[in-house]
Structure 1
Amino acid sequence: MALHIQRMIKELTACGAAARFLLEAMACAVLQDPNDRTIYSAKALAKQFQLSETLVSAALAELLSVGLVCRLSQVAGRGRPTIRYLLAAGAIATLRANQCPYRLHSQHLQRLFSGAAMVTDRLGEPKEGRKERAAITRLGKPAPRGARGQLSACNRLLLGVLLAHADRFGVVQGVGNVDLRRATGLDTDSLRYRLQRLVALGLVRRWVPGLSSSVFSGGKISSTYYLNLNHPIFAVKSSTAVMVHVARDWDGKRIDHGEILRRDMQAHRSRHGETQSETPGAVIRFLAGQKIEVFELLQHMLLRHASDLLSRHWLDLDRVHPIDAGWLLANIAAALRKSLALEDGQANTELEEVVEHFGRLVFDIAREFKVRFDQVTWIGFEPGCLSILPASANAGYQVITLVLQPPPLGAPECMVLRETRHGVVEPKTWETEAEMPLKDRQFCGLASSPARRLVMG
């Protein structure tokens, strides 16, 4: 799924993010009313979307320069003529000919591009904190909308692009920085800052940065974003629920499979390969020379595959009959890059060993999740209704988190299951995630710590 303006992305090449946001908002109005021929003024648009008139005027000028809006001058007595705008006939025709209404997350997207007030605070900021923030900058100029709590046009557009590519759990995969820059018109630095801003506001739960490495197919892997579909700013009925399991008697262990891979690689490098290793030699050779971020991303990859396995085979994981995992091994192999350092035959054998090992790890993770959530005997989990949300990097498998869509019957929006003794959990529920203490939300992966410069700013 894409935004309406995606049909005109070539014409928008010279336009910035604010102009694209404005065009998407105008497109939504036109497509909702087939007879709409609304004539706009910069002042009216600024008031409707709670933006500065200067920003709106500049955005309209950009759209005018590429022929997507038309300008009308209307003389009303003496003085300067009132300048008004309307969508160009060609733009309207393009929108209606290629009309593709929002499907997933339509309520969220419609609110983003409406005139609704979208005021929110940084995570952990007391309500009085925003009121105390100056309405002007240190230089005496009016502070940007974001500094006063109002989600800016550029941030709304970026969030809209992410929502348009998110699955029903709010997970965005396979959308690289190049794609985001092309869709939003933001440059690299601005894109990174605005992504950090969405994290600081709690609209993006987790941002797992991609990277380049010979381990992955194509030499790189894109970032993954976990959106908070239940954020109060959307003001829509909760469509997902989150459930967290916290194990007891963890004895300070924080090791996950990515950490085990890295540990075994370190032992191999330090010439202690004779010590017992949980990782086969083929995997160690495949990962030789990789930096620590690769192992963190491999852990994330394993969790995403485990999420697919749980979603497809929740009811089958504890049964005697084996599960046909051909699709899983194929997906793992597709994500990895074939080694070229060995002869073809040997390289294929090595890669098969690597894929099979990762497949076993995925099954281990999926079974661990199922065993622990099966302690909740009063809630039934259905195949296809769940997705793993990675917890804090410091939590290991002590904390495991699921996003449920639709929520199972009887499940609250937010539930934490704390293991009191082996096989027995004590639930604690909240009507909304926002009621949960911020440190607990961050530990469970429901929110991330904001970038330092956003905390200090």
Structure 2
Amino acid sequence: MAVLLAHADRWGVVRELGIAKLTDLTGLNQERLRAHLFKLSEMGFISHKLPGFSSWPLMGKWGSVYFLNLHHPDLRQAYPASSIAVMDSRDECGRCRQTEAGLIVGRAVFQSGQGFAWSHSERGFLGQPSEDCVSDDLARYFLPPVRIDEAAVTVALQFVLNELASSLLSTHWCSLERVTVDDELRKSVRNLLKPSKRCELPMERIDLMLGQAAIALARRVQGMLKPFTELALEACDYRLLPAPALGMAGWDGGQRCVLIRPKNGEPIPAVFVCGESVEHSPTRYELEQYPWLSSPLLTVPKPLTRYGRKSPAGR
């Protein structure tokens, strides 16, 4: 745990620290290391892990990413806890949505790389203003190689989109409606993807598609956050968390979770849960009142819980 904390950023995110590096840093063999990582997840110290992979031209060699739970009771005294916003993201019929990466990778796989076959509403969800904006021939570049699991590719691509959206929310909160895919955003896309230099990819068009999807995600999250009036939202930094591990990569589990820290001053160590209607003020929980933060899955009171287990509130 000490090694992970030493390599984590202020949000508790550890990047590019795969099994090989961890064995060198800890002195443990791979079997014991995996057992320790599993135990840390079971104890709630690691909230999410995104597996690494290689040989996908679009993302080159992708290292594992760990999200440490700095809100864990044994860590929150040493590490200032961010506010957590939990928002209902279900559609009008109360169903979980596919994530942005789920729509991109999942449809590319379903269509065998021949196109995306997005509906009009799905194009809007991804920030595509018209059918001419993104050509279906890009779909083949989002097909995972045979040796790489589709789920691993999907969560990795969603991590990239979450990082882009988090940066947009943090730097362009007041001007987000005017943001476009400029050179700065294109550079951010490529820095996160790290595409293979051995393959020729139409990066200008891929940058545009992923940049538009990230902008649409950021605007959607901004809209969900509007009821959180207790926080000075325009003066905060943001970090979108991965979707809960439901065994369905590419689906959001009916909620979006965001860590929030003020740019200046101390964060409010609390959990704000917004229900089905954005017209209602969120319910605030102090960290001590929200004991299931120590669980490896961040769960919320009904009706948002969709995790195959009951939340403490429902016991």
Distance 1:212 1:356, change over 3 A: same
- Note if contact 1:379-1:409 (Cα within 8 Å) is conserved in structure 2: no
Number of aligned residues? 276
TM-score, normalization by structure 1 = 0.53
**How far off its partner does 1:234 sit?**
3.3
Q: Distance in 2 between matches of 1:205 and 1:441?
A: 5
**How far off its partner does 1:377 sit?**
3.0
**How far off its partner does 1:289 sit?**
4.6
Q: Unaligned regions of 5+ residues in structure 1, if any?
A: 1-158, 342-346, 450-457
TM-score, normalization by structure 2 = 0.75
Query: Which of 7, 10, 17 is 1:175 aligned to?
Result: 17
Task: Please say which structure displays the higher CA radius of gyration.
Answer: 1
**How far off its partner does 1:405 sit?**
2.7
1:36-435 mapped onto 2 (5 Å cutoff): 159-217=1-59, 219-234=60-75, 236=77, 238-247=80-89, 249-269=92-112, 273=115, 275=117, 278=123, 280-290=135-145, 291-292=149-150, 293-318=152-177, 320=178, 322=179, 325-334=182-191, 335-338=193-196, 340=198, 347=200, 350-383=202-235, 385-394=237-246, 396=252, 398-406=254-262, 411-420=268-277, 423-432=278-287, 435=290
- Note if contact 1:302-1:362 (Cα within 8 Å) is conserved in structure 2: yes
Distance 1:239 1:363, change over 3 A: same
RMSD: 3.2
Letter in 2 for 1:337: P
Deviations 1:369-420 (A, max 9, x none): 1111012234211455221112314461731111123498894511211133
Deviations 1:48-82 (A, max 9, x none): xxxxxxxxxxxxxxxxxxxxxxxxxxxxxxxxxxx
**How far off its partner does 1:281 sit?**
2.7
* SS at structure 1 position matched to 2:176: coil
More helix by proportion, 1 or 2? 1
Q: Unaligned regions of 5+ residues in structure 2, if any?
A: 124-133, 301-306, 308-315
Deviations 1:350-371 (A, max 9, x none): 2211121111111111111111
Q: Percent identity?
A: 26
Q: Distance in 1 between matches of 2:2 and 2:267?
A: 31
Could you tell me which residue of structure 2 aligns to residue 123 of structure 1?
none
Q: Distance in 1 between matches of 2:260 and 2:89?
A: 20
Q: Distance in 2 between matches of 1:406 and 1:384?
A: 4
- Note if contact 1:286-1:339 (Cα within 8 Å) is conserved in structure 2: no
Which has the bigger relative contact order, CA under 8 A and spacing at least 6?
A: 2
Letter in 1 for 2:34: R
Could you tell me which residue of structure 2 aligns to residue 51 of structure 1?
none
